């Protein structure tokens, strides 16, 4: 969150000049160092003012993470380090606000989320004011596309599965934190791959100053197998692995208001972070070629500017038609729910593999098509059309397969967790244990109560074995040790407390 505010400050002041930009960033760092000093004084954390300043100047994400680790190590309750608010009251039951209007829900978000929304809107309006009409339109579409998807998937589809406050924060983490860290990691891996290729003696020996396009084309044609291998490495080990891992880490290491056992909640959380990342990617890809329909530093002609504008709109249209990040987030959610609700042992790689495979395959096809068109002297229009058709086909097939996987998983969960619909069923459930609802917040009763395996897992989880207590059955969840063992929810409400205080829907 600190990085988001820092980015807003830097970009805002950049529009006014480099001198003001430096003063603004330095002033923000000084304010953050002063605030962190208060945190250290209150918690008894060892440190100094110079350390606080350097952390926030050079690595704001590191500073936020260190603050959270130190506060947690001192047994302090989870807080938002931008505002100092406790996290627990802000992660209330989403079903309590699920029927509110959007404006009413906005009034219930935390100060941190309010600041993020206000600063983002201010930044957008400022950039829009200083942009040409074409650039403003491209920027608006780049931001609007993931927001529309989030509206359809979350607000229209599963509003009661997650609080708006958490969705806003996860979207901001994906936009500000994950995109920055991925942008720093991917070039490092590319350099390592190039170093390995250079040590193997397979890099081209062409002089970049004297080599012509025909020379490069001839080398690519002669070494097409090597070029395709490099495309494979870049697609799977640079783009897919890094981006899917960091999107997973958004949910894995962000402190949330309790354990995640509702499949819809996990889906919304993962998609929120992925869409924040996709929004930053949209802006980067759309403007990577320059500024459309605006002043050109090279004095380009209006026809070139129009062509650039068309290219930018085409990029955004293709990214809207092929929402790979959203599909990969859904695949991660399916795998996550398997480990949480279906008791299927799942390593981190196993959880990420379907998303990495889809993401890598998609990127590899686009990269390989470009290499083949260039090296084999194919017709550019036909090559681009063929790669587009294949990419769209992969998107449609993966979307249908993912949807069928999700529906099949919901059917399996419905077979094991039966909805409680009337008072008599609720009274019966009081002796058997209840769980969370399916997206709509209803109550569920386990169809496997009495199963020795379930009881054994309950004893391993440390819960008091009292089958007559619904709160006890909720606390004795089937979450793997990787979720409870790390105590990511240290200082937050336990499952039992959440139920006793009217906590949100969960599948246990």
For 155-190, write each residue's pLDDT tens digit: 887 888 888 888 998 999 999 888 888 888 999 898
What tokens were used for 387?
């790669």
What pLDDT is recorded for position 157? Answer: 79
Q: For residue 443, what are the β-bridge partners?
A: 420
**Looking at the chain, how many residues does it have?**
508
Structure confidence by residue, pLDDT tens digits, 434-489: 333 334 444 344 444 334 334 434 444 444 433 333 333 333 333 333 333 333 33
The residue among 411, 408, 430, 410 whose CA lies nearest residue 420 is: 430
| β-pairing verdict for 443-446 and 434-435 | antiparallel
Euclidean distance between CA atoms 325 and 322, whole angstroms: 9
Q: What is the pLDDT of residue 478?
A: 37
Which of 380, 175, 130, 139 has its CA nearest to residue 272?
175
What DSSP designation does 79 have? Answer: B
Distance CA 84, CA 111 (A): 9
Position 494 scores a pLDDT of 35
Which helix (H) or strand (E) is 311 found in, with range?
A: helix 302-321
Residues in the chain predicted with pLDDT less than 50, given as ranges, are 1-5, 8-10, 12-14, 290-303, 418-508
**Per-residue pLDDT at 418:** 47
d(CA 165, CA 257): 11
Question: What pLDDT, on a 0 to 100 scale, did the predictor assign at position 388?
Answer: 85
Which of 131-142 are b and which e, b meaning 16 or more Cβ less than 10 Å from the residue's Cβ? Answer: beebbbbbbebb
The full set of domain ranges for the chain reads 2-129, 133-416, 421-500
> Rounded distance, CA 68 to CA 218, Å?
54
The upper half-sphere exposure of residue 367, i.e. CA atoms within 13 Å in the direction of its Cβ, equals 20
Alpha-carbon distance of 418 to 480, in angstroms, equals: 22
* pLDDT value of residue 432: 44
Residue of 1, 289, 319 lying closest to 166 (CA atoms): 1
- Residue 346 has what pLDDT? 85
Rg (C-alpha) for the chain, rounded Å, is: 25
pTM of the model: 0.68
Sign of CA dihedral 492, 497, 498, 501: negative
In the numeric block, the tokens 């929120």 are attached to 272
**What per-residue confidence (pLDDT) applies to 287?**
78
Strands (E), 168-296: none
Element (H, E) at 273: helix 263-286
Structure confidence by residue, pLDDT tens digits, 408-440: 988 888 775 544 444 444 444 444 443 333 344
């Amino acid at each position: 969150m600190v990085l988001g505010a820092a980015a807003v400050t830097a970009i805002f002041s950049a529009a006014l000049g480099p001198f003001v930009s430096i003063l603004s960033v330095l002033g923000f760092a000084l304010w953050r160092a002063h605030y962190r000093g208060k945190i250290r004084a209150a918690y008894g954390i060892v440190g100094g003012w110079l350390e606080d300043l350097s952390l926030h100047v050079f690595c704001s994400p590191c500073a936020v993470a260190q603050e959270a680790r130190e506060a947690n190590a001192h047994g302090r309750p989870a807080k938002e380090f931008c505002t100092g608010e406790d996290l627990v009251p802000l992660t209330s039951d989403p079903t309590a606000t699920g029927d509110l209007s959007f404006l009413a829900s906005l009034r219930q978000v935390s100060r941190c989320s309010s600041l993020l929304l206000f600063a983002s809107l201010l930044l957008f309006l400022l950039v829009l004011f200083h942009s040409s009409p074409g650039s403003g339109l491209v920027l608006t579409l780049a931001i609007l596309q993931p927001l529309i998807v989030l509206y359809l998937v979350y607000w229209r589809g599963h509003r009661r599965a997650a609080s708006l406050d958490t969705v806003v924060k996860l979207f901001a983490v994906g936009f500000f934190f994950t995109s920055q860290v991925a942008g720093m990691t991917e070039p490092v891996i590319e350099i390592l791959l190039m170093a390995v290729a250079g040590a193997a003696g397979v890099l081209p020996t062409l002089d970049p100053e004297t080599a012509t396009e025909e020379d490069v084309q001839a080398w690519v044609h002669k070494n097409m197998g090597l070029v395709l291998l490099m495309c494979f490495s870049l697609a799977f080990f640079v783009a897919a692995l890094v981006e899917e891992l960091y999107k997973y880490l958004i949910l894995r290491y962000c402190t949330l208001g309790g354990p995640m056992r509702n499949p819809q909640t996990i889906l919304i959380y993962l998609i929120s972070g992925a869409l924040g990342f996709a929004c930053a990617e949209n802006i980067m890809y759309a403007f990577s070629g320059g500024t459309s329909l605006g002043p050109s530093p090279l004095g380009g002609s209006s026809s070139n500017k129009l062509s650039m504008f068309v290219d930018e709109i085409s990029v955004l249209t293709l990214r809207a038609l092929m929402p790979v990040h959203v599909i990969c987030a859904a695949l991660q959610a399916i795998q996550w729910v398997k480990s949480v609700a279906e008791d299927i042992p799942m390593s981190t790689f196993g959880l990420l593999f379907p998303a990495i495979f889809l993401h890598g395959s998609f990127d590899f096809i686009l990269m390989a098509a470009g290499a083949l068109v260039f090296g084999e002297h194919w017709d550019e229009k036909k090559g681009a059309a063929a790669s587009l058709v294949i990419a769209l086909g992969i998107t449609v097939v993966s979307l249908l397969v993912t949807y069928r996987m999700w529906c099949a998983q919901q059917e399996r969960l419905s077979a094991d967790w039966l909805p409680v619909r009337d008072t008599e069923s609720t009274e019966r459930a009081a002796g058997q244990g209840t769980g969370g609802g399916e997206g709509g917040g209803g109550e569920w009763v386990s169809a496997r109560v009495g199963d020795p395996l379930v009881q054994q897992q309950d004893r391993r989880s440390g819960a008091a074995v009292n089958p007559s207590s619904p709160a006890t059955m909720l606390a004795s969840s089937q979450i793997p040790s990787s979720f409870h063992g790390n105590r990511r929810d240290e200082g937050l409400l336990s499952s039992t407390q959440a139920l006793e205080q009217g906590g949100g829907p969960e599948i246990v």
